[in-house]
Amino acid sequence: MAADPSTPKLSSAQIADAKIQRGQGGETHQVAEGDVPVLTTQQGVPVADDQNTLRAGARGPALLEDFHFREKIFHFDHERIPERVVHARGYGAHGFFETTDTLSDVTRADIFQRKGERTPVFVRFSTVAGNKGSADVARDVRGFATKFYTKEGNWDLVGNNIPVFFIQDAIKFPDLIHAAKQEPDRDFPQAQTAHDNFWDFISLSPEAMNMALWIMSDRTIPRSFRFMEGFGVHTFRFVDAKGNSTFVKFHWKPKLGMQSVVWNEALKLNGADPDFHRRDLWDAITTGNFPEWEMGVQLFDEEFARNFDFDVLDATKIIPEEIIPVRRVGRLVLDRMVDNFFAETEQVAFCTQNVVPGIDFTNDPLLQGRNFSYLDTQLKRLGGPNFTHLPINAPKCPFHSFQQDGHMAFRNPKGRANYEPNSWGGEAGGPRESPERGFRSYQETVSGDKLRVRPELFADHYSQARQFYLSQTKIEQTHIKNAFVFELSKVETPAIRARMVSHLLNVDEDLAKMVADGLGLKDLPKAAPPARPVKTDLKPSKALSIIENGPSSFAGRKIGVLVTDGVDAAMLGALQKAAEAEGAMVELVAPKVGGVTMSDGKMMPAKQKVNGGPSVLYDAVAVLVSEEGAKLLSQEATAKDFLNDAYAHAKFIAHVPAAAPLFQKAGLTDMDGGFVALNKAGDAKAFVQACRAVRFWEREAKVHAV
């Protein structure tokens, strides 16, 4: 897509959009110019536009001469020592990528040429906003970064578990993260966006509305890394051997299906086990239940890009899978934990600029800025330019360069030559460039005036947010509404709450009214003026719903079994056998962690003590107690909590007849379809099969009145 060589004229939509972004007019902040100092660079140069990077034409690439952006992102990248500014809390593992479908028809990338070939990978999952010591199940976007050690160098696909982002231009990234992090005067709340600064920024940034719907959905409270999708977010290019380009969006699809926790469960998980996601990945890999994802690609050409309703360079938008299906081309398997967390997971350096021949960038302004930013970040975090010498970052293919010296250099050029071109032949002359094998950028025609402006279609901020909301099941829509009410209820400034509701009116009127009611707003604000008309005819997409893409089995999940002395050995054995056949795991929770004596006199060790193993740790629960054990646990508050939480979180609950006194004490006498009675050994299999639905959602409306 060549940029328009003619001088771009700002449309009324772009002008209106720019006003909204700067908080001018309507329901946004109004500040008289004389009341505030002029924003400048650190050199004191006044800034005319702090919203857009400088680029060649409205849809062209970012320009190296943009000193304001360079200074802003440079300073931001160096704000933390040595903790990452964002994605500080992470956990990683080794594995492999296996090509299952060659892509030689669209790319020369070596990794996609041979079916069945395996490429080593390292994957790091992370939260975005929290500090290194924060809890795992915070409501947050999850990083999904993959380093492929290919035969032609390292390729870093640095994505998230959500396919869109908050902002369209990287120049706003420091502002976004500053707003999301702890407020600087009080240094709290951390790993939480439920505060004034974040929602003030979001409510003044209409471009963030699509992402706002995504982050208030259950996508930001995943049950496990193993049960979440991953996305490359941006539009990239594939380039074939002849130099032809095909646009590509990357997807990761979890083999075990998608699953999230519910909000009350997340709060209790962070108290019960702040390392819940880390422990889950560790347990899965060390027990041989290797997590697996399919890689998929959406491929499209210039004609599609020209005719699509939205700009493919806009990172706040998706291309629905119903329009361009995801072509499955490989599988990712994680099969080995790190030997040392610091040496590998903490020192791994991902850079979006790390691509290999056959994969190239587009002029997405967020991606262009990330290509600047990541290198700065690694320089600061890892102490110098030689972070590529660390084993976790070094390529696994042969590599040669004339780069030398610097802090902590492990390797330097051998011999006389440390420059190129040189006259020295053979080995003494060192490496030489290769026009045949080397990386070549796609030859895109670029022209246009130097501007700080966004393309016309970038100004549609509400249409896909509406599409996302309408694509959710009623249960998920309720969760989104509740999330908005919770987050905004922590905002102390009423005007910010009202401003967010004004944006939601452009997404869905019923949603806006329910959020307003939940916040106790007496008067519904006027809808925020959209820079472009909201498209109301976009079809819902089933691919956007977690519940519609849940698991087909209970494999990879965990059943917590509450047991006491005298537990029926045959019934426990039947449950363990049924779970094993399904690919699920069983953990015993007992009055004493040493275990229990079963009905056959044998001792069975327990994994958790009853007051340290709450039901939030499990996907389903079973109560296998003796009559005496039920009486004992009836006096234990945490045993009653075990049942009440499982009930409130819509989990399936199995029980033996002897458990009746405990259920009565817990107030669970009205048993619905989510309860499964275990009267005979065969009932255990029926219970595990029922658990394939993961939740008995019909119960949720009964246990949450507000």
**Eight-class DSSP state of 206:** G
Q: What is the mean pLDDT of residues 148-162?
A: 96
pLDDT (tens digit per residue) in 274-314: 999 999 999 999 999 999 999 999 999 999 999 999 999 99
pTM of the prediction? Answer: 0.91
Distance CA(341)–CA(616), nearest Å, equals: 27
For 452, other C-beta atoms within 10 Å of its C-beta total 19
Output 498 or 420, whichever has higher pLDDT.
498
Q: Is 277 a catalytic residue?
A: no
- Backbone φ and ψ of 174, nearest 5°: -55, -40
Which ranges in 559-636 belong to alpha helices (H)?
569-582, 627-633
Q: What is the 3-state secondary structure (H, E, C) of 532-596?
A: CCCCCCCCCCHHHCCHHHCCCCCCCCEEEEEECCCCCHHHHHHHHHHHHHHCCEEEEEECCCCCE
Residue tagged 């508050």 (tokens): 637
Reported as a pLDDT band with limits 50, 70 and 90, residue 37 is confident
Q: Which of 658, 596, 584, 594 lies closest to 621 in space, CA to CA?
A: 584
Q: What is the mean pLDDT of residues 66-74?
A: 86
pLDDT of residue 75: 78
Q: Is the pLDDT of residue 16 over 90?
A: no
Q: Is the pLDDT of residue 19 over 70?
A: no
Q: What is the mean pLDDT of residues 638-646?
A: 97
Reported as a pLDDT band with limits 50, 70 and 90, residue 11 is low
pLDDT of residue 2: 43
**Eight-class DSSP state of 677:** E
User: Which of the following is catalytic: 87, 234, 461, 649?
Assistant: 87
The amino acid at 207: E
Q: Is 482 a catalytic residue?
A: no
pLDDT (tens digit per residue) in 72-107: 887 788 777 688 999 999 999 999 999 999 999 999
Residue tagged 């995943």 (tokens): 222
The amino acid at 329: V
Q: What is the mean pLDDT of residues 457-469?
A: 98
Instruction: Find residue 231's DSSP bridge partners.
Output: 160, 251
**Eight-class DSSP state of 387:** G
Q: What is the DSSP string of 295-321?
A: EEEEEE-HHHHHHSSS-TT-TT----T
User: Which of the following is catalytic: 154, 160, 161, 210?
Assistant: 160
Question: If you compute the radius of gyration of the chain from its CA atoms, what whole number of angstroms results?
Answer: 27
**Eight-class DSSP state of 13:** H
Structure tokens at 553: 């089995």
Q: What is the mean pLDDT of residues 369-388?
A: 90
Q: What is the mean pLDDT of residues 365-380?
A: 92
The amino acid at 700: E
Among 42-56, 205-219, 529-543, the least confident range: 42-56
Distance CA(257)–CA(278), nearest Å, equals: 19
Most confidently modeled range among 18-32, 406-420, 455-469: 455-469
Task: Sketch out the chain's domains with CATH numbers.
Answer: 554-703 (3.40.50.880)
